[in-house]
Structure 1
Amino acid sequence: MGVGGTIAKEIGELYFSRSLIIRNYNFLRFIPDEISNLSQFREIEMQDNELNGPIPSSLGFLENLQKLNLSNNRLYGEVPNRMFNLSLLTVIDLKNNSLSGSLPTNICNNLPNMERIRILNNHINGNIPPSLGTCRKLRRLSLAFNRFFGSIPMEIGNLSKFQTLNLEGNTLIGTIPNEIGNLSALEYLDLAFNSFNGTILKKIWMGFNSFHGILPKSFGNLSIFVEFFGANNCGNKGIIPKEIGNMSNLIQLDIGANEFTRAIPDTLGQLRKLQKLRLCFNKLGGSVRFNLCNLVNLYHLEDNSLTSAIPSTLWTNKDIQILSLAYNLLNGSLASEIGNIKSMRDHIPESFGNPISLQNLDLSKKNLYGVIPKSLERLENLEYFNVSFNELGGEIPNGGPFKNFTSEFFVVVALSLAIVVVYVIRRYRRSIVPLAHSTSLITIKRISYYDVLNAIDNFGEGNLIGKGSIGLVYKGIYSNGMIAAIKAFNLDLEGSNQCFDTECQIFCNIRHRNLVKIITSCSNLDFKALVLEYMPNGNLTKWLFSSNYFLNISQRLEIMIDVASALEYLHHGCQFPIVHCDLKPNNILLDEDKAAHVGEFAISKLLTEDQRISITKTLGIIGYMAPVWVSGLISTMADVDSYGIMMMETFTKKKPTCDMFVGEFTMRKWVFKSFPDAIMQIVAVDLVNPIEENIQAKEICFKSIMGLALECTVNYCLRIKDLTGP
């Protein structure tokens, strides 16, 4: 809880203090002028409070001040010009306030040591001062989400140490100065959501603007070194110029969600290096060009008016991962060469039930997921059906041709957990939750920082639903009614940027019904967040340990099966194994049907080479960590150990960090001591009623559960049990 009140005027009597650090307190009034008496201060950090009122001009008398951080408050008024005369100042951070006015034209004349200026998310207006080019030591400048107008001063090109420039969300116009090309140390540049025009040079993304014009022929004159071009959601019309074929080094092209018409130009086939092509949600017509069949990895051509048949040569490309031709006017048959594709990942569409004369359907080894659609029952002439070696789930259709099929037509991979325990206690078959369509990162409109702020009521506490080691999770409600979980990273914490990058990398490589789905992300220099699928029933911890919530045995079993299914996919269903590294009830989220979804991949590891990697710091939580981590090595087996511990916790309501587990007396030893004869003595009391009729069946079930949990946590020196192993 924060401490209410004000900052006392007596603070000005701390004459010999060097630093003032006041964070996360609910001070409700202004900064007193007496702070100017603190002439020896080197550092003032008063961020994340409730300070309001203007910034006192008396701060300009602190001649020894080197760092000033007043971010995340409610300060208003103009920034005192006198502050920009403090020659020792290296950092000014005023982000997330309501400051107004303009920056002084001579802002850097007296700031020879300035390294970082962050004034984003305020109401500052006017031109960006050209004198910023005299701050020779300046490395980071963030003026995003203000009201700056005019052009970018060319003097910024003089900053040889400049690393990051964030001008997103202003009303800047004109061309991007060529002098920016002189910034040899530049690592981050964000100019989105402005009104720039003119020639664009390299790695261009200008999506979500309002150009509403044509893509000129001169577009093909862009540098041959351009590797990425994106102009999606811009209202562009007319035809795609054939000159696009001149951009010989283009790797990614995204001009989807516009109003382009007529045929796809043949010259696209000249882009031999093109790996990702997105032309969807336009008004393109004509046929799918033969020239496109040389492209690899990603095709998005859906929602156009393409006609004719799909070229058989398209299926000779074995490396296609995503192909979408939905909502067009295509006709004809699918060539037999479709079987050449090895890497595609998608679900079986309902439309596969339309060609009723189909006799043979072989979709084996295609990395398909989800359920087998009931629409396939309409294929009355189907004689051969093979979907083996995929990640399909749910019920097999039993109507139409399927009623004559035997089980030999299908390859079903069952988890050992389901075999051991499901039929012991349930009297009816569990209904498999079908895979929901996740929102595509490619087709969703980009969510800006302002969108996030509005959705979570400006970080309002009423929207806070979770706290983690690297940030906070909020419930966000968007203007279109969409509800999402927004995970905001605390960038002041060491390693938070790496955690954000890790989660983005992991989410880009996974897709499973029991993993939390990502909707999109919001990332700029000073703010990073993931927008995730919202889970209305919270996490497993709440349901295990809160008095107002209860899960019966069947529900707990289903949750553990869901988690096992997710782990099996992470370890064996991806291109490279993924080790979660932080498996615990807090990271198991429940949807409206209480189906489990594994989340939180901030410290996960992608094993791209060996099945074991070295680690240099502690991962996860003590109590859930596998013994093998102590040796400095980690593999997928570590998750299996954590899974076993979590299974014990789920059915005993004892945490592995409980005070009773000290020294060498661990949770596993406690369970092992009671197994099997005294197992009912350690099971959670709310799961057992000694006088109920089926108590013996429950005891058998609990023995099976704890036996499997002990197998998962067996000493690594003796045996390691894999989820898919014997």
Structure 2
Amino acid sequence: MKSLLVLDLSKNQFSGNIPSTISLLQNLLQLYLSHNKLQGHMPPNFGALVSLEYLDLSGNNFSGTIPTSLEALKYLKYLNVSFNKLQGEIPNRGPFANFTAESFISNLALCGAPQFQVMACEKDTRRNTKSLLLKCIVPLSVSLSTMILVVLFILWKRRQTESESPVQVDLLLPRMHRLISHQELLYATSYFGEENLIGKGSLGMVYKGVLSDGLIVAVKVFNLELHAAFKSFEVECEVMRNIRHRNLAKIISSCSNLDFKALVLEYMPKESLEKWLYSHNYCLDFIQRLKIMIDVASGLEYLHHDYSNPVVHCDLKPSNVLLDDDMVAHISDFGIAKLLMGSEFMKRTKTLGTIGYMAPEYGSEGIVSTKCDTYSYGIILMEIFVRKKPTDEMFVEELTLKSWVESSANNIMEVIDANLLTEEDESFALKQACFSSIMTLALDCTIEPPEKRINMKDVVARLKKILNQIVDVRTP
């Protein structure tokens, strides 16, 4: 097939060597063989593919060296040999002058120029030894002696200072996250292809990806054309690098350079609570909804009471509650979260959040406190059991989700999701009583002024008590 222009055999199970006859494809512009099980050496006659512009051999088992014949490919714009077992010197002439470290990451023992971020190659540097001693070694010895004296003096002074003041030990050592390059994220998401898009937000997109080791992840890519995206990325990194709780989204890594910023997060296969509430293909029963809200409350309890400084999420809503395979809920998207440093509240001049879920004091005055999250939680608690969004078209003028629930206290059948409770239900009376208790709790979360709102520790305790009532009755 001597007229072939593009050959893409990537992401298969091909093994063996690349045949040397590939050099016959003189018109070939693009060759993609990534993510297979190919092995052996890269053919030296790759240099005969004179028209080649793109060459991707990543994610295989190639060994040996990178052929210097590739330096002759003057049209080669893109090369990727990462995640192989290559060793030896990386060529540096021809198109290699324009390649970066991402083309060569994760190999056995490559060496070369500093731009490739690999070790330097050992060269035969035999020179005039006597001249080297006279010109370099003697002055260097004098300099080293001076430096040693200075260092010894500094250490002596520091030791004196340390003996006079107590030593402080930082016990909060940062967790080690794996390093993931931009290039690996491109491959993991098929170059951020539409088929891998799983979510859209005001500041970016979320894609499903599969890393080189098979780990499935969610990649949150920030839209850097928006100024707020830079701040959001920094805030989310700051908040999420140290928090760890089973009901908070787990960060695996981050990737940041001048024109690209992304967070790599644990993938949640059951997607968002919003999808489960409003898609016809999904259905949550009474106990599932109650357990999800206990999970969310537990995550907030950790952020508000058990973290070193209280964290306010500021944008709690069903689309930011993600579900794993076991239907355990995880709070996500900390892009506008606030760290409360040494005070119970702070005032912001700029308010970000979602209409319908924002606490009144946050939306109108920009006052941030843990009570803002409590208010948002109360709205979601109502929403999940009545299956109405606070922005539903029925809520106009003075009627809101909160006032609707409040006015229906004596007739809960008017507001409860019809899928949850019917009068024919054998546990009708129990569920009715539990629903009433849950709505009372939701109203306690949204009460005015904010100082009167319940805290998340008490929310968790009351919801667990309600759950135990149902489980005890159902258990024979």
Range class of TM-score, shorter chain: 0.5 to 0.7
The question of whether the paired residues in 2 share the 8 Å contact of 1:464 and 1:474 is answered with yes
Instruction: Give 1:449's match in structure 2, choosing from 182, 195, 213.
Output: 182
Aligned partner of 1:720 in structure 2 is 453
Quote the Cα distance in structure 2 between the aligned partners of 1:454 and 1:619.
33
Measure, in 1, the Cα distance between the counterparts of 2:442 and 2:350. Answer: 27
Instruction: Quote the offset at 1:610 in angstroms.
Output: 2.4
1:361-380 equivalences under 5 Å are none
Quick one: percent identity of the two aligned structures?
45
Q: Which of residues 332, 336, 339 in structure 2 aligns to 1:599?
A: 332
Instruction: Determine if contact 1:149/1:170 at 8 Å carries over to the other structure.
Output: no
> Which residue is equivalent to 1:659?
393
> 1:644 — aligned with what?
378
Q: AA paired with 1:640? A: T
Shift of the 169–702 alpha-carbon distance from structure 1 to 2, 3 Å rule, reads: same
Q: Closer, same or farther in 2 for the Cα pair 1:689/1:487, shift >3 Å?
A: same
> Deviation digits for residues 309-338 of structure 1, max 9, x if unmatched?
xxxxxxxxxxx234xxxxxxxxxxxxxxxx
CA contact (8 A) 2:310 2:341 kept: yes
Give the distance between the partners of 2:297 and 2:151, measured in 1 at CA.
50
Distance 1:484 1:718, change over 3 A: closer
* TM-score normalised by L of structure 2: 0.65
8 Å CA contact 1:148–1:170 kept in 2: the answer is no
Structure 1 counterpart of 2:35:
none
Would the aligned equivalents of 2:114 and 2:120 in 1 still touch at CA under 8 Å? no
Alpha-carbon contact 1:680-1:702 (below 8 Å) kept:
no
Once the 2 structures are TM-superposed, how far is the Cα of residue 514 of structure 1 from its aligned partner?
Answer: 0.5
Measure the CA separation in 2 of the matches of 1:532 and 1:247: 46
Shift of residue 661, structure 1, vs aligned partner: 1.0
The alignment's C-alpha RMSD in Å is: 3.8
Q: Which amino acid aligns with 1:321?
A: L
1:123 matched to 2:78? The reply is: yes
Residues 1:559 and 1:211: Cα distance change in structure 2 (over 3 Å): farther
Q: How far, CA to CA, are the matches of 1:600 and 1:272 in structure 2?
A: 48
Cα separation, 1, equivalents of 2:279 and 2:458: 35
Q: 1:638 to 1:150 in 2, by over 3 A?
A: closer
Shift in CA distance, 197/542, structure 1 to aligned 2, threshold 3 Å: closer
TM-score, structure 1 as length reference: 0.43
How far residue 720 of structure 1 moved from its aligned partner, in angstroms, is: 2.5
| CA distance, structure 2, for counterparts of residue 536 and residue 627 of structure 1 | 34
Kindly indicate whether the alpha-carbon contact (under 8 Å) linking 1:578 and 1:636 is maintained by their aligned counterparts in 2: yes
Secondary structure in 1 matching 2:452: coil
Deviations along 1:42-83, one digit per CA (max 9) or x if unpaired, are xxxxxxxxxxx9xxxxxxxxxxxxxxxxxxxxxx989xxxxx
Mapping for residues 646-725 of structure 1, pairs under 5 Å: 646-675=380-409, 677-716=410-449, 719-724=452-457
2:353 maps to a residue whose letter is: G
2:226 aligned with 1:493: yes
Kindly state the Cα deviation for residue 494 of structure 1 after the two structures are TM-superposed: 2.1
Q: Residue 269 of structure 2 aligns with which residue?
A: 536
Q: Which amino acid aligns with 1:296?
A: V
Tell me which amino acid in the other structure corresponds to 2:97. Answer: F
Residue of structure 1 equivalent to 2:97: 149
Distance in 1, Cα, partners of 2:112 & 2:169: 34
Q: CA deviation at 1:716?
A: 1.6
The aligned residue for residue 547 of structure 1 is: 280
Rounded to whole Å, the distance in 1 between the matches of 2:103 and 2:277 is 48
Q: For 1:532 and 1:711, locate their aligned partners in 2 and report how far apart those are by CA, in whole Å.
A: 33
Post-superposition offset of 1:692: 1.7
What is the letter of the counterpart of residue 495 of structure 1? Answer: A
Where 1:529 maps in the other structure, the secondary structure is strand
Structure 2 letter corresponding to 1:149: A
Partner of 2:49: none
Counterpart Cα distance in 2 of 1:714 and 1:194: 65
Return the alpha-carbon distance in structure 2 between the equivalents of residues 649 and 496 of structure 1: 29
- C-alpha change, 1:514 and 1:246, in structure 2 (3 Å) is farther
Residues 699 and 482 (structure 1), Cα distance of their counterparts in 2 relative to 1, 3 Å cut: same
What residue number does 2:296 align with?
563
Inter-partner Cα distance in structure 1 for 2:112 and 2:349: 46
1:724 CA displacement: 3.2
Superposition map of 1:86-125 within 5 A: 123=78
- Unaligned 5+ segments in structure 1 are 1-52, 54-75, 79-99, 103-120, 125-145, 152-166, 172-192, 199-205, 222-242, 250-266, 274-292, 298-319, 323-439
Aligned partner letter, 1:543: W
Higher relative contact order (CA 8 A, sep 6+): 2
Q: Equivalences for 1:300-311 in 2 at 5 Å?
A: none
Residue type of the partner of 2:310? P
Contact 1:169 1:194 in 2 (8 A): no
In structure 1, C-alpha distance between the alignment counterparts of 2:309 and 2:383, rounded to whole Å: 30
Q: Residue in 1 aligned with 2:253?
A: 520
CA contact (8 A) 2:111 2:120 kept: no
Q: Which amino acid aligns with 1:670?
A: W
Task: Return the offset for 1:725.
Answer: 5.8
Where does 1:57-206 land on structure 2 (aligned, <5 Å)?
A: 123=78, 148-149=96-97, 169=102, 195-196=112-113
Tell me if structure 1 keeps the 8 A contact 2:111–2:121: no
How has the CA–CA distance of structure 1 residues 645 and 717 changed in structure 2, closer, same or farther, with 3 Å as cutoff? Answer: closer
Q: 1:468 aligns with which of 191, 201, 204?
A: 201
- Structure 1 residue 169: deviation in Å? 3.5
Q: Which residue of 2 aligns with 1:505?
A: 238
CA apart distance, 1:510: 1.0
**How far does residue 599 in structure 1 lie from its aligned partner after superposition?**
0.3
How many residue pairs get aligned? The number is 342
Give the gaps of 5 or more residues in structure 2. 1-28, 30-51, 55-72, 80-93, 105-109, 123-136, 141-147, 460-476
Name 1:321's counterpart in structure 2.
Answer: 172
Residue type of the alignment partner of 1:724: K
**Conserved? CA contact 1:441–1:520, under 8 Å:** no
Q: Distance in 2 between matches of 1:712 and 1:457?
A: 44
For each residue in 1:632-675, what CA deviation from the matched residue of structure 2 results, as whole angstroms up to 9, or x when unmatched? 21111000000000001100110001111122221100000001
**Contact 2:177–2:253 (CA under 8 A) maintained in structure 1:** no
